[in-house]
Amino acid sequence: MKPLSSQNLAKIILEDFLKNSRACIEVLVQTLSNFEGNDKREFAFFYFKDGKKHEVKLSDKHFFLRSSVEYSNPQLTVEEVQGIIAARLLEVCGNYFNQHGLGEISQEDINAIGEMLQKPPEGKIVAFLLNTDDAEPDRYSMNPLKGSIVTSGQSAFPSAYVKTENLKIDENFAGKYDGTLISQGEIALIRQCIENCGNSYVDMVDAVKYAQMEKLSVSFGIDLCLYAMRMPIETMQREDAQGLLHHIIRETHRDYYAIEKAYNCMGRSMKKRTTLLTVPHSARGYGSKRAARGRIYFEDEKLKSVKVSYKTTPLYPNAIDPNDISVAKAEDEFTVEGEALTNYNFRETPSSPQFFLYSLASPENAALWHGIGVFSAKELLKSYASIRTACANNALIRNLEAHGVSTKIPIQFNLSPQCMWVHPKHRNIDASIGCVENLEDLARMGMRIEQLQI
């Protein structure tokens, strides 16, 4: 069978999206009609082109729509590609119908949107990728570098700290999962990017993914090269001690009651006080939230100290072999004085705050999740919403407005779990995009996005 042209692939996806996800477009258009941005704030994004990192700044006058890809695998997965395409559909359709009005959709509308999808983002809505650089480099047992990640002692490192000088393709992984999690073309691309990444694992991953995005943009007839930003580590490295994430960490640790309120947002009890709101990194480089154990100590209402230990901990399996569980290897123990958190400085006490805290610093006005309820945890979304409600009532983090942060809960979209793209034969969402022989098989699965009610 002759593969369909890129225009036809884009048309199949777009028409299914317009038919089944119109409610999401409606809420975007309605929200944009009352949206007022703030051109006094700027956000730093980046993209990769020909293996080189380029930075770009956008003002807060835009309506930002957040999607994401993972640093736990260099290769783009089927799930990640669907999320990128979905974000572009929401962005372009929102911009188009905000300008032209949303009534009965004509063929002329579909043709115009198809042309917009082929071009880089332009308009009030801007889709972007928020990539979490504190996750382990082989969190889901799907990284073709997995063997050397462990032997180099970096399996419990945050991805932001991982160096590539001792990393190499795990031939056992490459052979076992050829065609299900990785392709030979992707193996070659990863090798090439390792050679040219300046010893930075996250730069290598982004170089691989952007090279694939660029190629897929031609195949799908949709420009997929979204701008990206890294959080929380790179953002805190760039901040001074008065920066927003520093302020959030200080505020949530200022006393017993602040920590209790943050615990309430997470649905946690203060009885044992073992959940760390920000996970201090070990001097040995460890920063895995899964491998970290902790306990918070108080002196009356004052935060006295936080005891931290790192233990070797299993992470997660891939979807092909449930017995192939990745691991974070770590052994260390230390104590952080309370003052180091109540008067926080990342350079002195590097740490990774929990997502529900650092997401406050994301510019997002809308967010796209990947299969909440089946493939992603509802608890994360609950804490994400709860912290904003608490801050709106001035009950937790004070003076967010001074940093330009809105406590309004962003619009929440979700890739419908029942219609997630999967490998046409093996049915796994973590298959690399290079394992899919005919992209039409994915396009025919449709594009169903739902709004999550908070």
pLDDT one-digit tens code per residue, 262-295: 999 999 999 999 999 999 999 999 999 999 999 9
| pLDDT score at 5 | 65
R_g of the chain, CA atoms, integer Å = 22
Phi-psi region of 123 (alpha: psi -120 to 50; beta: other; left: phi over 0): left
Higher pLDDT, 237 or 395: 237
pLDDT at 105 over 90: yes
Is residue 378 very low, low, confident or very high in pLDDT (cuts 50, 70, 90)?
Answer: confident
Higher pLDDT, 372 or 131: 131
- Whether the predicted pLDDT of 367 surpasses 60: yes
Q: What is the pTM of this model?
A: 0.96
Among 19-23, 349-353, 370-374, 441-445, whose mean pLDDT is lowest? 370-374
Position 1 confidence tier, pLDDT thresholds 50, 70, 90: very low
What's the pLDDT tens digit per position in 135-194? 999 999 999 999 999 999 999 999 999 999 999 999 999 999 999 999 999 999 999 999
The secondary structure of 153-200 as a DSSP string is T-TTS-GGG-BSTT----HHHHHHTBTTTB-HHHHHHHHHHHHTSTTB
Q: Which residue has the higher pLDDT, 133 or 122?
A: 133
**pLDDT value of position 446:** 95
Helix (H) or strand (E) holding 257: helix 256-266
pLDDT for residue 38: 78
Cβ atoms within 10 Å of 163's Cβ, excluding its own? 16
Question: Could you report the per-residue pLDDT of 312-323, keeping only the tens digit for each?
Answer: 999 999 999 999
Task: Tell me which residue of 134, 133, 132, 138 sits closest to 327, measured CA to CA.
Answer: 138
Task: Using the CB atoms, write b or e for 15-39: b if 16+ within 10 Å.
Answer: ebbbebbeebbeebbebbeeeeeee
Determine the Cα–Cα distance for residues 65 and 117; give it in Å rounded to an integer: 16
pLDDT tops 80 at residue 4: no
For 295, residues 6+ apart whose C-beta sits below 8 A from its C-beta are 272, 273, 274, 306, 307
pLDDT in tens, 411-422: 999 999 999 999
| Joined tokens for residue 313 | 């901990």
DSSP 57: E
As separate numbers, helices (DSSP H) first and strands (DSSP E) second, the chain gives 15, 13
Q: Determine how many CB atoms are found less than 10 A away from the CB of residue 161.
A: 20
- The domains of the chain are located at 6-136+207-235+359-452, 146-199, 241-356
Contact 133, 159 (CB under 8 A): yes
CA torsion 134-139-144-147 (nearest 10°) is 100
Question: Residues 330-355: what's their mean pLDDT?
Answer: 98
Residue by residue, DSSP assigns 97-145 as HHHH--SSPPHHHHHHHHHHHTSPP-SSEEEEEEEETTS-TTTTS--TT
* Percent of the chain clearing pLDDT 70 (strictly above): 98
User: What is the dihedral angle through the alpha carbons of 44, 47, 49, 51, rounded to the nearest 10 degrees?
Assistant: 100
Amino acid at 111: N
Averaged pLDDT score across all residues of the chain: 95
Question: Under DSSP, is residue 282 helix (H, G, I), strand (E, B) or coil?
Answer: coil
398-413 pLDDT, tens per residue?
Answer: 889 888 898 899 999 9
Cα–Cα distance for residue pair 193/207, rounded to 1 Å: 7
Does the CA dihedral 395-398-402-408 come out positive or negative? Answer: negative
pLDDT per position as a tens digit, 26-57: 999 999 999 988 777 899 999 999 999 999 99
Q: State whether the Cα torsion 54-60-64-67 is positive or negative.
A: positive
Q: Cα–Cα distance between 418 and 426 in angstroms, integer?
A: 16
